[in-house]
Chains A and B, each alone.
Chain A
Amino acid sequence: MSVGTVEDHAEHHGVELSPEQQVKANRFGLWLFFISEIFLFTALLVARFFLWGNTRPELNQVVGLIATSVLLISSFFVYRGETAIEHGDKKRFMSNFLWAALFGTLFFIGVVVLEWNIFGLSGEIAGIEIFGTLKPTDGVFGGVFFAMTGIHALHVLSGILLLLAAWYNGRKNNYSATDNWGVEGTALYWHYVDVVWVFFYPALYLIGTAV
């Protein structure tokens, strides 16, 4: 079962992709992955509406709103960074991606430390309790809330790692105005994770009566 040799690679082959076509294929592949993930997040939304119906748990609206704003602002920095590298401005790209990673991390901390309250803290700022009280074991409210925020937080975490990887590759001079698929792909992914939260936030915090 041999599949031949490769000495004559230069001339002997079927259809191959030019670098420009490869980037197009990459973009297409990433969008296919997004389509796939739509089904994951939709399934979670289905679980939310199936199990919660027209109710929702009592959640901290201030923390939810601030965390959402922080995440949306991070997308702004990602967009600025991407535009900068397309204009060959490496320095501005790198600083913007770092800001985006920082805001992403803030959102992640907001979810894990404040809403999940994994350290079991309590405390008030301006008379508002900022640490969550819902536990994963609190029936379907706890289960669905932790599953949805958890799976989204995993995507945020992987997005932060991608942002940092893109930043590091920028430091190593791997991107230019014409060759920057790594930046574009990271930015697309980050925006996508953001958009998912735009659907999750109302489903968890706004729709239905708090009980």
Chain B
Amino acid sequence: MKTLKYWLISGYTKGLIGMAIFYALGFYLIQAMRNASGAEYDPNPGVMIGAIFSVIGFLLFAGVLTDWLKWIVGKRPPLKHGPPQGRPEWTRYINVDNNHKVIGIQYGITGLFVFLVGGLFALTFRLELSQPGMQFLTYKGYNTLFSAHGIVMIVSILLGVGAMSNYLVPLMVGASDMPFPRLNAFSYWVSIPPIVLVLAAMVVGGWDTGWVGYPTLSLRGAIGTQLFLLGFYLFGFSSIASSINIIATVAFMRAPGMSLFRMPIFVWGALSAALIQLTATQTVGISLLLSVMERSFGMTFFDPAAGGQPILYQHLFWFYSHPVVYVFVLPGLGVISELLPVFARKTLFGYKWIALSSLGIALVGFLVWAHHMFVSGMADSLRIPFMVTTLFVAIPTGVKFFSWVATLWEGKISFETPMLFVLGAISVFLIGGITGPILGTIPSDMPLHDSYWIVGHFHATMFGGFVFPYFAAIYYWYPKVTGRMYNEKLGKLHFWLMVPGFWVMSFGQMSAGIAGMRRRIADYDPALGVTGTQILITIAAFVIAWSVIIFVYNLIASARRAPMTNPNPWRSRAPEWQTASPVPELNYDETFEVVGGPYDYGKGTPAYVNMHPAAVPGD
């Protein structure tokens, strides 16, 4: 009963109420203005202003903007620290809180929830695809489901990246929090209304465009398309705000002695990802906003019927949407590099090269976007240059693979669940990586583009680059976050179901693609001979789904176990394992000093950090 009461007065409930009120306000304001001027009925402008208003309403009612509004009228509210007064501790996770660890967990749980929703969409249309012909979905329903699966999973991955970056980066560099805690809370809370908008888009007509939202289909689609474009656009505010915090944390709040090349390697991945999020997000934002304006006000940018250029949309869109896959994988690859030395009890091979390869991938990633458009009818002269730059991505990625193999070489490897997921990630990312150059090369891209081969390649890079490392990270830092050890048996079961399941799914998708199966299509010709493969993929998808359910159960059930006795179960040198679990409010008892290399395992050299440096005079 009490619990229900706390939920009813939580930031989420208040925010959603504000969202509904402001949406209605914006929508009917525009509708009234249009009626007054005698314009024809068109819901698009009203939906646009309503959606933008609804985000403001959500933030206002949830209490995210309170401190800033007080600043404007001349007050200086102090930053709130610590658990809420007069309420149970857990309620801080459902209200606006400025602590980076609370925000990290909020990101993580929201991301996981969204991940399950997106997975459910996938299972639904996967079931439909297991036989030719239409079983239980309509064409329209199929289109909406696969489109929603795409964007919802992207949102869930971005939330997962936010979870790791927010929780780990300040902790790893020795900071007490991020430099702009209120902005940090804003970047989490502003991500909620767009999720609501995208899910709402599914029930008001859905949309057919996939997550890419290409014009001219997006300009003519049902009103659901408008909501989807707006939800996608508004989510960008979260990415940009959060990236500013992460970069500033690394720039200003590192512990004494922590030079850039002595940071834990994950921080390099998070930093490179943040640099991409900071910049590229704007171009996809503007491409989506221009589409919305074209729908709402009859302006012309992309519709060739009125003199526009649909190719322009694709250029602006992919300028973000290619680099964004590196936003997903760079933190993931950072986790792999972070965990391997701990479980191999060896130095990370080529630290500097790994660190710089993250930056390298981020930079080269800005120069390859048009490889998504080889068959789109763009200028021919762009093809070869973009093929060359695309193949360059293989170089920094290869550096990472060689470093991982060399780190494992002659290591004293132990196989706890996090390590299993790291190894699984490497194997899966290898599948995704090797199939990449085949698509980056124009002659082989021509027949494979828009086939199921791309679906296989993309899922392998996402699972290898993000999902597997993310699971590894959750198992690895679960004891840090909760102070309790997860159930090792269930963790291993999760892994041994998921890895073979994924291999089957990935190879199945690629082979169906070679056989001629198109992507984003609800039906296929039985004469293709891929029905058996489709059944296999569907079964594999369900195996993966079961393994994820086991994972979620493990997280919930293990939170009730007795607190662990060993403060550093992985015998890690990293600073976050030298402080208490769960981590104290401001992370460390005192500012530590970095005195050694981060990954000098098995060398007998001094520790990475000195947790109790002699007091500095005047401190």
Instruction: Please list the residues of chain A having a beta carbon within 8 angstroms of any beta carbon in chain B.
Output: 1-6, 9, 11-17, 21-22, 24-26, 28-29, 32-33, 35-40, 43-44, 46-47, 50-51, 136-137, 139-140, 142-144, 146-147, 151, 165, 168-169, 171-172, 174, 182
Contact = CB atoms under 8 A, between A and B. Distances in A.
Nearest to B586: A13
A186 B319 CA distance: 30
Contacts of B244: 29, 32-33, 36
Contacts of A47: 286, 290, 301, 312, 316
A9 B587 CA distance: 11
A184 to B, nearest CB: 15
Interface in B577-593: 580, 582-592
A1 B82 contact: no
A12 B586 contact: yes
Nearest to A33: B244
Contacts of B316: 43, 46-47
Given A1-B90, A28-B252, A17 B179 contact: yes
B174 A15 contact: yes
B2 interface: no
B355 to A, nearest CB: 20
B278 interface: yes
Contacts of B177: 16
B252 A21 contact: yes
A36 to B, nearest CB: 5
A9 B81 CA distance: 9
A15 to B, nearest CB: 5
Interface of B: 71-74, 76, 81-83, 89-90, 93, 99, 101-102, 105, 170, 173-177, 179-180, 183, 240, 243-245, 247-248, 251-255, 278-283, 285-287, 290, 293-294, 297-301, 306-309, 312, 315-316, 319, 481-483, 559, 580, 582-592
A82 to B, nearest CB: 18
Contact of B293 (A36, A139, A147): A147
Contacts of B590: 11-13
B307 A3 contact: no
Contact of A174 (B76, B83, B306, B584): B76
Nearest to A21: B252
B280 A39 contact: yes
A32 B179 contact: no
A12 B589 contact: yes
Given A39-B282, A40-B282, A43-B286, A29 B73 contact: no
B72 A168 contact: yes
Contacts of B174: 14-15
Contacts of B580: 4
A171 B170 CA distance: 37
A136 B299 contact: yes
Contacts of B245: 29
B59 to A, nearest CB: 16
B279 A147 contact: no
B585 A32 contact: no
Contact of B176 (A16, A29, A32, A146): A16
B239 to A, nearest CB: 10
Q: Considering residues B251, B279, B481, which has the most beta carbons from chain A within 10 angstroms of its beta carbon?
A: B279
Contacts of A21: 252
Given A6-B81, A147-B290, A1 B180 contact: no
A3 B282 contact: no
A17 B584 contact: no
A25 B586 CA distance: 19
A25 B590 CA distance: 21
Nearest to B73: A168
Contacts, number: 190
Q: Considering residues B240, B286, B294, B588, which has the most beta carbons from chain A within 10 angstroms of its beta carbon?
A: B286
Contacts of A16: 175-177, 586
B179 A2 contact: no
Contacts of B583: 3-4
B215 to A, nearest CB: 12
9 contacts: A4-B580, A9-B586, A12-B586, A15-B175, A26-B179, A36-B240, A139-B306, A140-B300, A146-B299
Contacts of A33: 240, 244
A143 B300 contact: yes
A1 B89 CA distance: 9
A90 to B, nearest CB: 14
A1 B248 contact: no
A139 B286 contact: no
B301 A22 contact: no
Contacts of A15: 173-176, 253-255, 591
A14 B402 CA distance: 35
Contact of B584 (A12, A37, A43): A12
Contacts of A1: 90, 93, 105, 481-482, 559, 582
B588 A136 contact: no
Contacts of B290: 47, 143, 147
Contacts of B73: 168
Given A3-B583, A6-B586, A15-B254, A147 B175 contact: no
Nearest to A44: B286
A35 B278 contact: yes
A139 B71 CA distance: 43
A12 B589 CA distance: 4
Contact of B248 (A29, A35, A139, A146): A29
Contacts of B243: 32, 36
A4 B240 contact: no
A35 B275 CA distance: 10
B299 A142 contact: yes
A137 B74 contact: no
A5 B83 CA distance: 7
Given A14-B255, A15-B253, A43-B283, A140 B585 contact: no
A9 B175 CA distance: 14
Given A14-B587, A15-B176, A51-B308, A174 B248 contact: no
Contacts of A39: 279-283
A46 B71 CA distance: 37
A51 B298 CA distance: 16
A143 B82 contact: no
